[in-house]
A and B are shown apart, each in its own frame.
Chain A
Amino acid sequence: MMSAQEIPPDWEPKILAFLCNWCSYAGADLAGTSRIQYPPNVRIIRVPCSGRVNPIFIVEALRQGADGVLVSGCHPGDCHYLAGNYYARRRFALLQRYLEYLGIEPGRVQFSWVSASEGGRFAEVVTKVTEDVRKLGPLRRLNIKAASLTQEGEAG
C-alpha cells in the first residue's frame, strides 16, 4: 500500500463498475433521476446480469488502469434470470479472496447487491468504494499503465 504522502495530490480514483441491467443499473438510474449525489469517479458498464461478469473482466480492468472495480447485481432471489447472481456469488467469493491472497489490497475489488428501487443505496455503495480506493491510492500492481507504454525506449 502506498503511504498517504505518495498519493499524487491531483489524483482521483478511477472505479469501473459492472452493473446488472435489471437491478443495479436501474438503481444507478434512479439515483440520477432522484438527484442523489455520488462520486463521479465511477465508470459504469452495463451487463445483462452479474452472472455475465467473467473474472477476466475484473482483472483486465485493473490491468488497464482502473484503481478499483465494483460488481453489482440483484439481491439473492431477485435475479431476472433466476440464478445468475447465485453463480456469480460463488465465483466472486473465490476471486476476491484469491486477488487478496496475491497481494491486491482488500477494498480494490468489491461486490454489492443493489435493487432497482435502491437509488440511495447505490450512491452509498459508490461512495464507500470510492473512499476505500482513495485511501489505498493509485493501483501500482498489475497496472500496465505503470509500465509507461507510450514512453520511448525498449519494452520492459
Chain B
Amino acid sequence: MEPFLFAKDQLSEFVAELMSRVRLYAPVPRDQELRFDEVKTPDEVVLDYRNTTKPPKMVLFPQTERMIAFAQEREHFNKVLQVPFDEQPKAILGLRPCDARSFLLFDKVFGAGKYIDPYYQARRKSTLILALACTHPRPTCFCHAFGSGPYDSEGADILMRDAGDAYLLEAVSEKGAALLEELGLAQADQAHLQKAAELEEAAYQKLVEIEPVEGIERDLEDLFESELWAEISEKCLACGTCTYNCPTCHCFTIEDRVLSGGGERVRSWDSCMYPYFTLHASGHNPRPDQASRWRQRVMHKFEYLPHNVGLYGCVGCGRCVVNCPVLLDIRQVLRRVRQERASKVES
C-alpha cells in the first residue's frame, strides 16, 4: 500500500483531526522546554525538533502515579478509593523511532510474563504510537549501535517520514492501518516519495561511526567482580539524571502517604544511582558504593535484560550522555567494558 501524506502547513488540521478522536500527546512547549504533554491546542505541536530532554515514557509510565487513595471513615482509614485505569483512547505523535522502540521493552517488563502491570497495560493498550523518523541524527546518537536506525519503524503503529513540505504516513501495525484508513488522507505522489528517500539517505549519512553493541552481554558475564566499575564510577555524582531522562529506565518505588483525613499509595520513578535505592529496612545496603550501582546499571541494561527478555535496556537516544553533569558517557563505558574483557581474555 502506498503511504499517505499531508502537507506540513496542514499540521494543525491533522492534529485537530487526531484530537477529535483521541487524547493526544506530542512535543509541545511547556515551562520553557519542549516536552511530551497533552496537546491543548492544535497549533502548539512542534514536530521540527531534534529530541526532547524528558523522554515520552512519562505518557505511559508517569513519574508520579496514584495507585489507590484512602479516606478516613470514623476511626480508620478504611475507605479505599480505586483509581480507574486509564483506558481512554490516546495517541503519542511525533516521537523519535528510538523512543518508540523503548516501549517494546516496557511491554516486556510491564505487559508480559507472569505479572502484568495493570496501570501500564491499560494505558499502553489504548495508545497509538505515531513515530516520526529522524532526519537529523546527532553526534551523540547511537541507535545504530543496536542495529536500529533513524528510520526504524519498530514499536510504532504509524511511521511518519519527512518529505520536504509534507509528511508521509505509513502503517506499521493493524491499529495504525485502521486509523490511516479512517483519516482518509491523500496518497503520496512520486515526487514526495523521492524526496523522503533522499532525506532518509541523508539521515543515515549523518550517523557517527560506532561499534555494534551486539555481544556485549557475553563480555559482561565475567566482569561482575571487575575493578572496572570503581574506575568508571569515580566521577559519578550519584544523581538520577541519566535514569530519569532515559526512555527505557523503568524502576520505581511505592510509598503510602497519610495526611489528615486521607492518603494515597503513590508510585514514583526511582533511580539505581541513588544510594537509598537498595537500602534495606535493617540498615544493610547490598549496593554500598557507586561502583556497585554502576555495575548494576550497566549489567541490567546490557546483560540481564537481553538474557531475560531479549532486548537491551538502551535505545541509543544519547540523553544520558548530553545531560550528565559530569559527562559520564555510556558509549565510553561500553568501550571500556570491551577493552577490559579483551585484556582479561589475553592474560
Contacts and interface: CB of A to CB of B under 8 A. Distances in A.
B65 A155 contact: yes
B71 interface: yes
Contact of B259 (A64, A152, A153, A155): A64
B219 interface: no
A150 B69 contact: yes
Nearest to A156: B64
Interface stretch (B162-170, B198-206, B262-270): B262-270
A144 interface: yes
Given A155-B64, A155-B65, A149 B259 contact: yes
A33 interface: no
Contacts of B82: 152
Contacts of B71: 150
Contact of B83 (A149, A152, A156): A152
A11 to B, nearest CB: 17
Nearest to B81: A152
Nearest to B79: A150
B81 A155 contact: no
A151 to B, nearest CB: 7
A52 to B, nearest CB: 23
A26 B5 CA distance: 79
A154 B71 CA distance: 15
B261 interface: yes
Nearest to A64: B259
Interface residues of A, number: 12
In which size bucket is the chain B interface?
10 to 19
Interface in B39-93: 62, 64-66, 69, 71, 81-84, 86
A155 B86 contact: no
Q: Is the interface of A mostly helix, strand, loop or mixed?
A: loop
Contact of B266 (A64, A144, A150, A155): A155
Interface string A122-156: 00000000000000000000001100011111111
A84 interface: no
B32 interface: no
A149 B69 contact: yes
B260 interface: yes
Interface of A: 64-65, 144-145, 149-156
Interface of B: 62, 64-66, 69, 71, 81-84, 86, 257, 259-264, 266
20 contacts: A144-B259, A149-B262, A150-B69, A150-B71, A150-B81, A150-B262, A150-B263, A150-B264, A152-B69, A152-B81, A152-B83, A152-B84, A153-B66, A153-B83, A154-B62, A154-B65, A154-B66, A155-B62, A155-B65, A156-B64
Given A149-B259, A154-B65, 19 more contacts: A64-B260, A65-B259, A150-B81, A150-B264, A151-B69, A152-B81, A152-B82, A152-B83, A152-B84, A153-B83, A153-B84, A154-B62, A154-B83, A154-B86, A155-B64, A155-B65, A155-B66, A155-B264, A156-B64
